[in-house]
Amino acid sequence: MATPEPFDAVDVIRTKRDRGELSDGQIDWVVDAYTRGVVADEQMSALAMAILLNGMSRREIARWTDAMIRTGRRMDWSAVDRPTTDKHSTGGVGDKITLPLAPTVAACGAAVPQLSGRGLGHTGGTLDKLESIPGWRASLSADEMLGVLRDTGAVVCAAGDDLAPADKKLYALRDVTGTVEAIPLIASSIMSKKIAEGTGALVLDVKVGSGAFMKDAASARELAETMVALGTDAGVRTVALLTNMETPLGLTAGNALEVRESVEVLGGGGPDDVVELTVTLAREMLAAAGLDGGKDPADALKDGSAMDVWRRMIAAQGGDPSAALPRARETHTVLAPADGVLARLDAYQVGVAAWRLGAGRARKDEDVQAAAGVELHAKPGAVVRAGEPLLTLHTDEPARFDRALEALDGGYVIAPAGGRPDLPPLVIDRVG
């Protein structure tokens, strides 16, 4: 006879529905039982909605995170002879920072074990971007991961199915039940994966603005503080930066387009905001790993050492770093409608346009187009002239242009020349 379950899902749901606190035993059980398929999707959906509406205490969030970690295995990098440090972004538009960042930090002496995900909705995913490089392989065995990390100093690859499997199942459920935007669930989702990943230090890039999950600085700060506390309590040296996501990062949103821009940054060029965020996050990662005072990340971008690591890292995963990147079969250029200063270019709307052009997926099992996306010709604050290119849309399927253009409707504002728009700083705050 099967062992009886110690709790009842409906009681757990009722407790949270009625604004009660879940006990450690209830949390351990419900997370494990959901992963085993004993708690049904509809029950977990109701519980996730109750958590979204009524919140969780710090104790509940810490226990929930730990319960998710315990559904899988923890990685161990003790065989690597350098301190490990990683970065995680809460997700944005044009956020290709991992690509120049991981090799830069490795070139400065740390090891970066980065287990990444794919994009869903309007935000891009690091693995989708790297997969636009001919031959590059996201799935590695644990031994291969260790080998690439030891040989090159950085490995960016897919998290295996055994890393916090509860989160994989719960994240997919939240995505279709309107329960993604709950701070306790976002914090535990991200931190369960990062703690299980086994990094010694972690820098969180918490995005704020239209293109982010957190639309205002107060909720971003609450998310950042919650995650920093979870990491610190788990023995991971954790800090968070709150950074602007009102407008896309850099001049590209879309997989191969973002790889091309990242390679420019690794070559010592590239857009100012991508360089600034790469260098700022790299310094934080090195400081968290106890390696500040050594080589500066800005120098690693200038002297070719970051590029060197990039080329070795891509080649170690089967990619050809010299191969031409895919180009879209069709492009459509949007022209500036008036003379003036670009006062606003909305990150969310650009992200949705890139997604509709084929850069993202609406369902987990869909393929993405490597070459699809949006290229910006101006950033907020730039002077623009009527009739000059503002944006170029890229796709292999021209039927997608109309819906992408609809997504961009009202997404850019050109103000009369003369005044400068009030632009928020790229790095808004630091927590930790």
Decide if residue 186 touches ligand URA (CB under 6 A): yes
d(CA 276, CA 305): 18
Using the rule CB under 6 A, give the single segment among 10-18, 76-84, 151-159, 184-192 that binds ligand URA. Answer: 184-192
Strand 340-345 and strand 383-384: pairing?
antiparallel
Q: What is the 3-state secondary structure (H, E, C) of 264-301?
A: HHHCCCCCHHHHHHHHHHHHHHHHHCCCCCCCCHHHHH
Query: Residue 193 catalytic?
Result: yes
Taking a C-beta distance cutoff of 8 angstroms, is the pair 160, 142 a contact? yes
d(CA 229, CA 412): 38
Among the listed residues 16, 63, 96, 193, the single catalytic one is: 193
Residue closer to ligand URA, measured from CB, 107 or 253: 253
Using the rule CB under 6 A, give the single segment among 49-57, 75-83, 186-194, 408-416 that binds ligand URA. Answer: 186-194
Decide if residue 360 touches ligand URA (CB under 6 A): no
Closest of 112, 98, 108, 81 to residue 292, by C-alpha: 108
d(CA 67, CA 33): 11
Query: Residue 167 catalytic?
Result: yes
Residue closer to ligand URA, measured from CB, 91 or 380: 91
Residue closer to ligand URA, measured from CB, 26 or 90: 90
Which position among 7, 29, 34, 171 is part of the footprint of ligand URA (CB under 6 A)?
171
Using the rule CB under 6 A, give the single segment among 38-46, 183-191, 377-385, 400-408 that binds ligand URA. Answer: 183-191
User: Within 10 Å of residue 324's Cβ, how many Cβ atoms?
Assistant: 8
Closest of 109, 110, 382 to residue 237, by C-alpha: 110
Which position among 33, 130, 190, 228 is part of the footprint of ligand URA (CB under 6 A)?
190
Which position among 43, 189, 226, 369 is part of the footprint of ligand URA (CB under 6 A)?
189
Min separation Cβ 261 and ligand URA, Å? 23
Among the listed residues 45, 132, 188, 189, the single catalytic one is: 189
Residue 127-166 contact track with ligand URA, rule CB under 6 A, x = bound: ----------------------------------------
Among the listed residues 87, 88, 129, 221, the single catalytic one is: 88
DSSP-based three-state secondary structure for 176: coil
Min separation Cβ 164 and ligand URA, Å? 9
Long-range contacts, stretch 304-308, CB < 8 angstroms, 24+ apart: 304/268, 305/107, 306/100, 306/103, 306/104, 306/106, 306/107, 306/266, 307/103, 307/263, 307/266, 307/267, 308/103, 308/107
d(CA 315, CA 154): 12
d(CA 48, CA 200): 30
d(CA 207, CA 92): 7
Min separation Cβ 381 and ligand URA, Å? 29
Residue closer to ligand URA, measured from CB, 67 or 345: 67
Min separation Cβ 97 and ligand URA, Å? 15
State which of positions 78-107 bind ligand URA (CB under 6 A): 90-91
Min separation Cβ 186 and ligand URA, Å? 4
* Residue facing ligand URA at closest CB distance: 189
Query: Residue 18 catalytic?
Result: no
Min separation Cβ 143 and ligand URA, Å? 25
Query: Residue 394 catalytic?
Result: no
Using the rule CB under 6 A, give the single segment among 181-189, 239-247, 252-260, 352-360 that binds ligand URA. Answer: 181-189
Min separation Cβ 82 and ligand URA, Å? 26
Min separation Cβ 361 and ligand URA, Å? 15
Which amino acid, residue 218?
Answer: A
- Give the list of residues 6+ apart from residue 10 with CB closer than 8 angstroms, or none: 43
Residue closer to ligand URA, measured from CB, 197 or 264: 197
Taking a C-beta distance cutoff of 8 angstroms, is the pair 122, 112 a contact? no
Query: Residue 175 catalytic?
Result: no
Decide if residue 355 touches ligand URA (CB under 6 A): no
Among the listed residues 169, 174, 221, 394, the single catalytic one is: 174
Hunting for tokens 């930066």 — which residue is that?
Answer: 241
d(CA 320, CA 143): 22
Residue closer to ligand URA, measured from CB, 83 or 360: 360
Write the CA distances from 411 to 140, 247, 260, 279, integer angstroms.
Answer: 40, 10, 25, 29
d(CA 325, CA 303): 24
Interface with ligand URA (CB under 6 A): 90-91, 171, 180, 185-186, 189-190
Q: Give catalytic residue positions.
A: 88, 167, 174, 189, 193
